[in-house]
Amino acid sequence: MQTGQVVLRIGFYTLAAWGLMWSLLAVGDMSPRGGRGGQAPRHAEAQSASVRVDGFRFGHREGGGIRFVMELSQAVPWRVFAIGSPYRVVIDLPIVEWDSGGLIDGLGFVANARYGRFSQDRSRIVLDLSQAALPEATFTLPRDGGGRRLVVDLAPVAESAFPEKLETLFESEEGFAKTKRRADAPPLPLLRPALGARGKWVVVIDAGHGGVDVGAISATKKYEKNLVLSYAKDLRNALNATGEFDAVLTRNDDRFIPLRERISIAEALGGDIFLSLHADANPSRKVRGASVYTLSEKASDKEATALAARENRSDILAGIDLTEHTGLVSQILIDLSQRDAINASQDYANLLVTDLRESKVRTLQRAKRSAGFAVLKSPNMPSVLVEIGHISNADEEKYLNSKEGRKEVINVLVSSLRQFFRARTEE
């Protein structure tokens, strides 16, 4: 559907079109779900939220500007800010009720809009801009039949006029920071299982992406973030069932976690190994196969560099200001303390690739690669990133979603981890 054709006028057809788009974007689980009466399908977890989003849309303004409109079931506090490199405009709201977060096409200089949960108490919309542009005004209007309409009017500006650092441009009258957390906000996941699990190897499983960052998009328009979360949960259960492991997750629901925080979580949990699970997409739909990555200053090849850049974009997509911690994306400097961790990472990656090759899981021809992945930077534990396959390939997407495919991938991961830790115990 071309968002550009949606006119800036509230009418039944506009809303119906949005309803259709929302139902197409329903990705809460792998089974197809229909929209309810043209309304946004709800993610089960967000069902207790009281503020509903009935749709977004873009329209052209006179003089080359773009208007972004969001339909809300009631008034909420909001904040609009801009961040550069690359140019983004971000709209923050308290937790609102929508599907599990996603991506829609933009209009004009707005390349697209990402939306989803950003943190425990915040929902976020990130407008990715193809050129420097800023909101000239942000305001709300009453809607026919109740609720509020949030309007952001954007106009192109000179590159020099774009703020260098994160800057709040507009805020609702009641202020945004002062808003209280919803009392019924879901609690943080219980990351650590019951104590007394000592003597077991702690495997920290990191489901890539989440919330406002959907990750790669599959052949059937499903999101990487959901697939890898379900794999992470299955892997955790399979590992814990062996009695040898104490497997824990960095996220166990659809939330965004900055890359650096994933490492902090793994370290706080005392991980013996960190496994980041991903699924890739390739512009060439023919490409398929799993691959395994470790951290290196100098990338093994061009493809690995490009992949690392894609995965490192997670924080950018979520609207994080990288000027506060430069170096996360641009340069990965490895210090001496990381050498041991890197050697161990290589050992595990080699083992895993060998096991994958011996299994029915397809791998890329060169399945073991390395590059500057920000999420693999822990000096305290071996860290490996696994792309379980290419969801842009229709057959592979089907395979990864099938019972057999899932079982095969999980089995290989479990057996390779067993071998890895047994070898270390014998040393």
- Residues of this chain that bind Zn ion (CB under 5 A): 208, 215, 278
Which C-beta is closer to Zn ion: that of 46 or that of 212?
212
Question: Order of strands across the sheet with 88-93?
Answer: 102-105, 110-119, 122-129, 88-93, 79-83, 167-171
Residue 388 structure tokens = 């379980």
Q: Which residue is nearest to Zn ion (CB)?
A: 278
Buried b (16+ CB within 10 A) or exposed e, 107-141: bbbbbbbbbbbbbeebbbbbbbbeebbbbeebebe
Distances (CA, A) of 3 to 14, 132, 222: 10, 21, 19
User: Least distance from C-beta 311 to Zn ion, angstroms?
Assistant: 5
User: Least distance from C-beta 362 to Zn ion, angstroms?
Assistant: 18
User: Largest Cα–Cα distance of the chain, in whole Å?
Assistant: 72
Which C-beta is closer to Zn ion: that of 41 or that of 215?
215
d(CA 258, CA 209): 9
Judge contact between 53 and 98, C-beta under 8 A: yes
Which C-beta is closer to Zn ion: that of 200 or that of 406?
406
Which C-beta is closer to Zn ion: that of 80 or that of 388?
388
User: Least distance from C-beta 216 to Zn ion, angstroms?
Assistant: 6
Judge contact between 71 and 55, C-beta under 8 A: yes
Which C-beta is closer to Zn ion: that of 98 or that of 293?
293
User: Least distance from C-beta 281 to Zn ion, angstroms?
Assistant: 9
Give just the sign of the alpha carbon dihedral 178, 183, 185, 189: positive
Which C-beta is closer to Zn ion: that of 56 or that of 223?
223
